[in-house]
Every structure is written in C-alpha cells, then in structure tokens.
Amino acid sequence: GAVVSQHPSWVICKSGTSVKIECRSLDFQATTMFWYRQFPKQSLMLMATSNEGSKATYEQGVEKDKFLINHASLTLSTLTVTSAHPEDSSFYICSASPSGLTSPEQYFGPGTRLTVT
Amino acid sequence: DQQVKQNSPSLSVQEGRISILNCDYTNSMFDYFLWYKKYPAEGPTFLISISSIKDKNEDGRFTVFLNKSAKHLSLHIVPSQPGDSAVYFCAASGNSWGKLQFGAGTQVVVTP
C-alpha cells in the first residue's frame, strides 16, 4: 500500500517552454501533497505544500508564479514549471500524506528528472 | 538554517555488521522523526519513525533511538546487507503538521 506515482519520470524541454509533472496517490486519498526538488548530492528541499481544493503554500524563496501547483482531487497534484530555464533542471519529487493519518509519514513518488536545454 | 544535520556524508560497513547512522537536530519543537532510504534517481522510501514520547522503536533489522536531551537520534541496521547500500535521510516534523525537514543524507556502502 501507500504507492505514489509520478509522470513523466524524465523530461527534456527547451528553455522558455512549460512542463507539467503529475503526482498521483494510487491506493489512498491524500488531502496534502508536497513537492520537493533535489540537486545532485544534496538533500530534499521542500518547495510547496499542496492541499486539495485550496491554494498551495510555498516555501520562502520559491516563486509561486513559476512553479504552479494544482491539487484538484484527493489523488492528483500537478506541478507546472513555467518558462523553464536551465537552472530549473533538477530532480523533482512529490510526496503524499494519507488523509486521516495520525502521524506525519509521507510516501514519495519515484521522482521526475527535468532537463532544460 | 539547517535544523536537521547528518554530519557523516558516508559510511562503509561490512556485510553482517551493524550500521549506525546519526542525526542531530536543533529545533526543540520537533516531535516526530523519520528515516528514509533513497536509491539514485528514485524517491525516498519510508523506513521507520519515532515519536518524541518514545526513546526507541524497532522494526525488524532497523532500530531508531532518540535522545531528546541531546537532540540526537540514530538508526541502527543489523545485520547490514548489500541491498542496504543507499542514501539514508533523517527527517523531522514539528508543529507544522506534515512538513518534514530533511538532513543532508548519509551514503551507506555495504561491502561483502
């Protein structure tokens, strides 16, 4: 149980274009999903917290107009990187916290490798 | 400001022996701690957690110890197996429910 999927697993795009990454909880409902990015040999950096049916909460320093997050259902959140630039190249990982869970475990997706050329 | 610290970037251990991974934190509001295992180009996998009301939690080969006064926790893996070779992240949660602060990770290599 507690499986989270991400699509695509990797994507290459040209500078200036937008890319959408999907995060799905496959066998549970998730009121809250989280988006992280990870640079090589570094820790996971929380970008934003996504709550179903409401606006995402962004961490300090993360541009909300650049990283658009939509959490339209209890099993799907999307991250759209708008007007991507080479510095946006990174490994993006989502996680989901099952609704009603009494502890803060998060279950992570397999990640999406974004390369902007 | 790194509130969760893993000061050992790497650890090498022989198969069958014990692996001990350490994690320190600075925020006394943290009340729940988790360990995740991560392979390259994959998402982290939840391993084990511990609430601040406990000082030990055990699950199979994995045991987590918490020393609140020292703001220190450790993960023991025994016996270590080659499949345990991965990066291990310590994470902590506090009053912002669900938000996790991650350490920098420790690369574990288990040698035959």
B6 token code pair: 């893993």
Q: Measured between alpha carbons, how far is residue A29 from residues A15, A75, A93 in Å?
A: 35, 5, 18
Q: What is the CATH number of the domain that holds B47?
A: 2.60.40.10
Residue where the block lists tokens 């606006």: A55
Q: Quote the number of domains for chain B.
A: 1
Chain A interface, mutation test: which of B2, B46, B53, most A Cβ atoms within 10 Å? B46
For residue A13, the surrounding DSSP H or E stretch is: strand A10-13
How does pLDDT run along chain A (117 residues), one tens digit per residue? Answer: 688 999 999 999 999 999 999 999 999 998 889 999 998 878 889 999 988 888 899 999 999 999 999 988 999 999 999 999 999 999 999 999 887 777 778 899 999 999 999
Minimum Cα–Cα distance from A95: chain B residue: B43
Provide the 8-state DSSP code for A1. Answer: -
Which range of residues forms the domain containing residue B49?
A: 4-111
Q: What is the largest CA-CA distance in chain A?
A: 43
